[in-house]
Homo-oligomer: A and B are copies of this chain.
Amino acid sequence: MNTFKDATTEEINAVMEQSWNAFETYRTFSLRQRAGFMHAIATALGSISEVIVAVAMKETHLPEARLMNELTRTIFQLNSYADACEQGNWLEARIDTAIPERNPPKPDLRKMLVPLGPVVVFGASNFPFAYSTAGGDTASALAAGCPVIVKAHPAHAQTSEMVADAIIKVARECNMPRGIFAHVHGAGFEVGKSLVMHPYTKAVGFTGSYGGGKALFDWAAQRKEPIPVFAEMGSINPVYLFPEKLKQSPVELAKLYAGSITLSTGQFCTNPGLIIGIDNEELQKFITTLGNEIEQIAPSTMLHPGIAKAFVTNRNKALMQEHVDTIAVAKQQPDENQGIPTIASATGQAFLNNPVLHEEVFGPYSLVIRCRDMNEMLAIATRMEGQLTSTLMATETDMRHYTPLVEKIKNSCGRIIVNGVPTGVEVCLSMQHGGPFPATTDPRFTSVGADGIKRFARPLCFQNWPNNLLPDELKDANPLGIWRMVNNELTKA
């Protein structure tokens, strides 16, 4: 229950003023100081894990084990982005030394990434820890050298408040500048809009719905000084069943996907909402097995009543579309605010002709598309909107045989999986959690993995600077021992 008051305009102005002042100091802090702060936050969260998980359980209805795992992931993110921050590869340090004898003389030029400024973070309803108050966006921004202002998600405002208090306490202990981290409440859109429109805000991180993310993007683009918005807005994560693979194991694939579709009540942004195959005997076997599995899965409580209500509305809208057949609904009756696992099916033509079937139904729902042939599957891949992930269930022969299809699929997603499930987003440097619009507002960046730090930084070039006044990152002696491109060669020298 959110008992917090929305921040007033005056409070927001005061917060942003303080955040800007903090930026002036924090951006000059060394990589080690930033990393130290982040490690300290990680430690602090670990020490209060039981109490914050208990509060989060009440607010989100997620089970304890799931939340404890998520908190562990959050702590891992903070620690691993802190390590990446200190390792310094993200700085993209480059040095081109002077050639004074050239005509005209070539000046000494050195470049590295520097922070953008205060970053406003909007947390996700489905990840109260890992993509919220102390989550990936916050960790990335702090590593980049940016202060953070978190707009608490109203669905877990108390959890957010407790995490924020822990961060602010750590900031004081680490002698961080006042304003390095701020936390504001806002149940309506006004507080969020004020934060995005504030002239001191220099970037925005968001995880949530298309409607929410697009609104932030539009506001940011309409500012006098437009700013980047990194909004991860979800997707339907299509799964392509290739012929040979499907023939080999229709039952196994169906069982694998029954689990992935209903994991965490389907409340993952990488939930597989669309499964595409050729309409034949094996696909029928797949559909039958998937339906039988889904019928046995118990409904479970969704994150909050609003999400549960939206699931019912969107699922029903999808099921009511022409040429859509309901395949299976979980047999157990759902309690209030529970999401009921559901599978439907439609023809390839129906999908191609009806944009409603392309929309995400956030929750334990998936639509199986029965294509007439591989050409129709290619047509579907060609028309597919931007996605966070796409999955190929395919043998090597399948992949070699249908290269144009594989290429089309590559072009519309941020991550392309072979013979796996899209749920499960590993936190590592090779992860791309992002994808072409409408999956995100900026496919050039990831919101998971240490490359996410780069979202909040820009290059600054130093020309003809005295060596001893350069940042340590660019000094001749390379006192930090980081990798740098020196006269077009990567070196630690």
Contacts and interface: CB of A to CB of B under 8 A. Distances in A.
Interface of A: 24, 27-28, 84, 87, 89, 92, 94-96, 104, 106-107, 109-111, 114, 116-117, 217-218, 221, 225-226, 228, 386, 396, 399-400, 407, 410-411, 413-420, 424, 426, 428-432, 434, 436-438, 441-446, 451, 454, 457-466, 468-469, 483, 485, 488, 490
Given A459-B446, A490-B490, A420 B464 contact: yes
A135 B442 CA distance: 25
29 contacts: A24-B407, A87-B488, A89-B485, A94-B429, A94-B430, A107-B424, A109-B428, A225-B386, A225-B436, A225-B438, A226-B441, A228-B442, A228-B444, A396-B466, A413-B460, A414-B458, A415-B460, A415-B461, A415-B462, A416-B461, A416-B462, A420-B463, A431-B461, A432-B459, A432-B460, A434-B459, A451-B459, A483-B490, A490-B490
Closest 8 CB pairs of A and B: A432-B461, A109-B430, A221-B221, A415-B461, A417-B463, A96-B430, A94-B430, A443-B458
Contacts of A442: 228
Contact of A426 (B89, B107, B225, B458): B107
A457 B436 CA distance: 11
A410 B461 CA distance: 9
> How many copies of the polypeptide does the oligomer hold?
2
Given A89-B485, A221-B218, A461 B396 contact: no
A70 to B, nearest CB: 14
A466 B395 CA distance: 9
Contacts of A428: 96, 106, 109
Contacts of A468: 396
Nearest to A446: B459
Nearest to A95: B430
Nearest to A463: B417
A59 B399 CA distance: 53
A316 to B, nearest CB: 26
A170 B90 CA distance: 37
B410 A114 contact: yes
Contact of A431 (B111, B411, B441, B451): B111
Contact of A418 (B221, B434, B466): B466
A325 to B, nearest CB: 30
B464 A418 contact: yes
B465 A418 contact: yes
